[in-house]
Amino acid sequence: MIRKSTNLLLTRTLSHCLHYAIKKKNVGLAELVQLIINTTHLEQSCHFLEEFISNITNVPPDTANTTKLYGTSTFKDARHAAEAEIYTSLNAKIDQFLQLADYDWLAAVQGGGTLTASDYLVDLIAFLKSTFSVFTNLPGKVAQTACMSACKHISTCLMQLLLDPDVRQISLGALHQLNADVRECEGFARAGPVAGFQGDTLLLAFSDLRQLLELFTQWDWSTYLADYGKPTCKYLRVNPHTALVLLEKMRETSRKSNVFAQFRKTDRDRQKLIDAIIKQLRNLIAQHRA
């Protein structure tokens, strides 16, 4: 009877309270971290509850037909729910910062000096540094997963900004600014915001963006087209479809900016070069589709 009552207390009352605390509106990351710490401790302490009930009832827990306590599973489920909520809440907070992104997609290339990261991204990185300093008390894998998830989310969102159909034109200057922002993200990843990552593992979250931006800012199309499909390709993570979409946006920018400069040989040559690369990319895609 005592075991059944205890199970009801654990699986209904306590479990409901824990999940309510996890899912309540505006729950903070620090609260979720504390919930994970608490439920981990409670899960590890369940054997004391087993011993206490056994002493009261004089029935060992391994006796036949003895009702098993659900304490361990209750706290484990709550901990997993809190971990999942951390990943979701962290990405939602990142989205709030990314909504402040205001890129000038037609920006000219700046001559001289090094571009600095966008203000919104500097603020985002500062927030992440502060957040992950709190995660030091979390189990290692949870902190690592949260950090990798955050970096991947940032990378995915920045890529989506580039490929957004509503952004019809993109200049090389805009790509240089985005490149500066990605460097800021890479600096954060390289600094090891949480312990446990081997080498540059965290940097892999930004590798798709890094290779794509390097291809465009270095204008290294000869290497990309010559080595595409080879396992040693420098731009192994650059999808030709992605490159084509971005290049077509650059072509649109080049066309419109050259309306009144169509007689300048350098402008005409650049337009022809972009058209030629687009044609080669389309042929490349068609070949690998066949």
Whether 206 and 235 share a structural domain: no
Number of domains the chain contains: 3
Please compute Rg for the chain using Cα positions.
Answer: 27
135 lies in some domain: yes
Q: pLDDT value at position 67?
A: 65
Residue 142 burial by Cβ neighbours in a 10 Å radius (0-12, 13-18, 19+): buried
Q: pLDDT value at position 208?
A: 96
Q: pLDDT value at position 69?
A: 67
105 lies in some domain: no
Last residue of a domain, one of 219, 245, 268: 219
* Section 83-103 average pLDDT: 94
* Section 218-223 average pLDDT: 94
Residue range(s) defining the domain that contains residue 243: 220-290
Whether 224 and 211 share a structural domain: no
Which CATH number covers residue 158?
1.20.58.670
Whether 80 and 173 share a structural domain: no
Which residue has tokens 């649109």? 252
Q: pLDDT value at position 290?
A: 58
Whether 1 and 80 share a structural domain: yes
pLDDT one-digit tens code per residue, 107-156: 988 876 688 999 999 999 999 999 998 888 787 788 899 999 999 999 99
Please give the torsion angle defined by the CA atoms of residues 199, 202, 205 and 208, in that order, rounded to the nearest 10 degrees.
Answer: -30
Q: Residue 280: how many CB atoms within 10 A of its CB?
A: 16
* Section 214-229 average pLDDT: 93
pLDDT one-digit tens code per residue, 178-192: 999 999 999 999 998
Most confident of 69-73, 220-224, 268-272: 220-224
Whether 211 and 171 share a structural domain: yes
Please give the torsion angle defined by the CA atoms of residues 47, 52, 53 and 58, in that order, rounded to the nearest 10 degrees.
Answer: 110
Query: Which two three-digit tokens encode residue 21?
Result: 């605390």
- 31 φψ region: left (φ > 0), alpha (ψ -120 to 50), beta (else): alpha
Last residue of a domain, one of 191, 219, 247: 219
* DSSP category for residue 194: S
Last residue of a domain, one of 219, 241, 265: 219
